[in-house]
Amino acid sequence: MNILFLSLGEFNEMTAGSVHVDILKRLAHDHNMYLVCKCERRNHKSTSLLHESNISILRVKTGNIKKTNLLEKGISTILIESQFKNAIKQYYKDIKFDLVLYETPPITFASVVKFIKNRDNANTYLMLKDIFPQNAIDLGMMKTTGIKGFIYKYFRKKEKKLYAVSDKIGCMSQANVDYVLKHNPEINPDKVEICPNSIEVQDMRLINEEKLAIRQKYGIPTDKKVFVYGGNLGKPQGIPFIIDCLRKEKENDKAFFLIVGDGTEYGKLEAFVNEEKPTNVKLMKRLQKTDYDRMIAACDAGMIFLDHRFTIPNFPSRLLSYMQAGLPVLACTDPNTDVGQVINGGFGWWCESDSTEGFSECIINACSSDLLCKGNNSFKYLCENYSVENSYRVIMEAFDEDCCK
């Protein structure tokens, strides 16, 4: 098949394992893959077409979407639909696509998908990674009334158009399936299914000697249980709550907290560390992927944080990097996501992200647990449920029951 993949990712390194790259490479193993992705204006590059890892990659020049103000982000997100469509008409005009894959964010791909669907009689599959604009409502970035209400209604209409043009909608978990159907009753339940984040599983677990060397290299204690958070540090993570948790655990001499990442709210964590100087907290900027993966694997448990205001059931992809490193997971989230149900008991702990008492209780339970055993359970669950082969099979079987036999 000729498969077109639309994404807001930049895909600068096709060798770097991620939920996006790994499914692309798996699809390219059996099919002709054509990728359309963005190249933001700040990169000072024109639209270009190249081939890498058996994938045709069309990088479309767009406005800035990441690390910019809300106005520019909004305008760039709206314009990307026409920019992608024009690029496809120019560079892929002679390619007949059998399947179009696309993910959220953004939700503004509907007309692009519809164009290919009508032109080529292609099947369409939405990989729903984010539920927008409701997530913006949850965090107070949009409103349903007033001037901001018009913006919300515009994007809500785009969201519904995207769902309507999709033959299948793959959600990250059962809670996501339930949410989409509840809030969009016009959708046929038969076209909504679970297609979780997945990766090409690699065993990133380290032996004790390697862990010791890495901890010494980065100044991480070797005599404490190390809880690590790695990834984006923005509004969705609920940074004020993270700070409250770290403040509450300042006197804990058994646990050490490593925060590695970057984002719009990084400065708040940095200010907390500089002003209060907690001795059991280390804050670091984002590392190169290879160094990051090894540092994660040198820790004892991974942490996930989601703002308590979320009504949408987020399912963070960083969970997979912890599992691949053989780490149990401590998740502090809103009560609407089912990530806690997945990890609780078997390979982790969960509490609501408005309770520092709950966080402290999880830390106590983790420090007294067999972390190696829970870490092995974590890796096993990854292999059985979040392998890229599972996602590949779900997508293929959606349109051809015999394709994976």
Tell whether 182 and 327 lie within a shared domain.
no
Tell whether 294 and 284 lie within a shared domain.
yes
Q: What is the pLDDT of residue 272?
A: 95
Q: What is the pLDDT of residue 404?
A: 43
Higher per-residue confidence, 71 vs 29: 29
Element (H, E) at 116: helix 110-120
Tell whether 300 and 187 lie within a shared domain.
no
- Quick one: CA torsion of 236, 240, 242, 244, rounded to 10 degrees? -160
CATH code at 328? 3.40.50.2000
**Domain assignment of residue 403, yes or no:** no
Tell whether 227 and 350 lie within a shared domain.
yes
**Domain assignment of residue 111, yes or no:** yes
Distance in angstroms (rounded) separating the CA atoms of residues 212 and 220: 9
- What's the predicted TM-score (pTM) here? 0.89
Q: Which of 302, 312, 305 has its CA nearest to residue 378? A: 302
Percentage of the chain exceeding pLDDT 90: 67
Tell whether 381 and 393 lie within a shared domain.
no
Number of domains, the chain: 2
pLDDT digits (tens, 9 = 90+) for 381-391: 999 999 999 99
pLDDT digits (tens, 9 = 90+) for 20-57: 788 888 999 999 999 998 888 888 888 889 888 788 99
**Domain assignment of residue 283, yes or no:** yes
Q: Is 282:219 a contact under the CB 8 Å cutoff?
A: yes
**Domain assignment of residue 324, yes or no:** yes
Tell whether 212 and 186 lie within a shared domain.
no
**Domain assignment of residue 70, yes or no:** yes
Tell whether 131 and 180 lie within a shared domain.
yes
Mapping DSSP to helix (H, G, I), strand (E, B) and coil, where does residue 305 land? strand
Mean pLDDT of 314-337: 93
CA 330, 334, 339, 344 dihedral sign is positive
**pLDDT > 80? residue 196:** yes
Distance in angstroms (rounded) separating the CA atoms of residues 148 and 103: 25
Element (H, E) at 366: helix 356-367
Higher per-residue confidence, 129 vs 148: 129
Distance in angstroms (rounded) separating the CA atoms of residues 273 and 124: 47
- Residue 243 structural domain: 208-385
